[in-house]
Structure 1
Amino acid sequence: MQRVCFLLKVRPERLAEYRRRHAAIWPDMLAALSASGWRNYSLFCREDGLLVGYLETDDFAEAQAAMERTEVNARWQRDMAPFFEGIDGNPDEAMVPLTEVFHLA
């Protein structure tokens, strides 16, 4: 199993709407994530918009590629792109895994 953590930056003025959208994620998006091997996926956000994502998967590159092939992901990424700072393209393309330096098993 691979643990993946990444950082993104939500525009502070869009944070309330970002939270509302994630409180009502499309059922077909949830199904696609699960079918693509994303497990234990969580997003955490500070008030300044710093977003921390965490997920577990067998192979992150493969899980990302599987999502990339879904129509629902294309719609979701298009709708979410305006919420982020410093991203040129889809938000999922900016998810660069952080290096894990410690894990308490």
Structure 2
Amino acid sequence: MKRIGSVIQVKPDQLAEYKALHTAVWPDVQDMIRTCHIRNYSIYHKDGFLFSYFEYVGDNYEADMERMAADPATQKWWDICMPLQQPLESRAEKEWWAEMEEVFHQD
């Protein structure tokens, strides 16, 4: 299993809309998340930052992320959510959400 933490900012005037969208995530999007071997997925908010955590239980993370990115329902969902977000300048090339370094974990 691979644990993934990532961060992005939410535009201050878009927080309410972002929260509202995530009270009713589309079933097709949720199905694709599961299909791509993502479990225990959460998004948290604090002071304009969104923190995402999930566990990847598959065996080819890159292929599963490409599969998700190619999914039409997920693309439509991202088209709605991405304008509400502000990526960090320090993110890696081709990242939207900036992946974080895990510095501690305890089961």
Do structure 1's residue 3 and structure 2's residue 12 form an aligned pair? no
Which residue pairs with 2:55 in the alignment?
Answer: 56
What is the one-letter code of the residue matched to 1:62? A
What is the aligned residue count? 100
Instruction: Tell me which protein shows more strand as a share of its residues.
Output: 2
Distance 1:96 1:61, change over 3 A: farther
Aligned residue number for residue 95 of structure 1: 97
Q: Is the 8 A contact 2:14 2:84 kept in 1?
A: yes
**Residues 54-105 of structure 1: per-residue CA shift (max 9 Å, x gap):** 0000344233112012111110111111101247xxxx94123211111112
C-alpha root-mean-square deviation of aligned residues, in Å? 1.8
* Residue number in structure 2 paired with 1:84: 85
User: TM-score scaled by structure 2?
Assistant: 0.84
Residue identity (%): 30
Unaligned runs of 5+ in 1: none
Q: 8 Å contact 2:6–2:97 — kept in the other structure?
A: yes
Aligned to 2:91: none
Deviation (angstroms), 1:9: 0.3
Q: Which residues of structure 2 form unaligned runs of 5+?
A: 89-93
Structure 1 runs, 4 residues or longer, greater than 6 Å off: none
Secondary structure, aligned partner of 2:98? coil
TM-fit CA distance, 1:43:
0.1
More helix by share: 1
Q: TM (normalized to structure 1)? A: 0.85
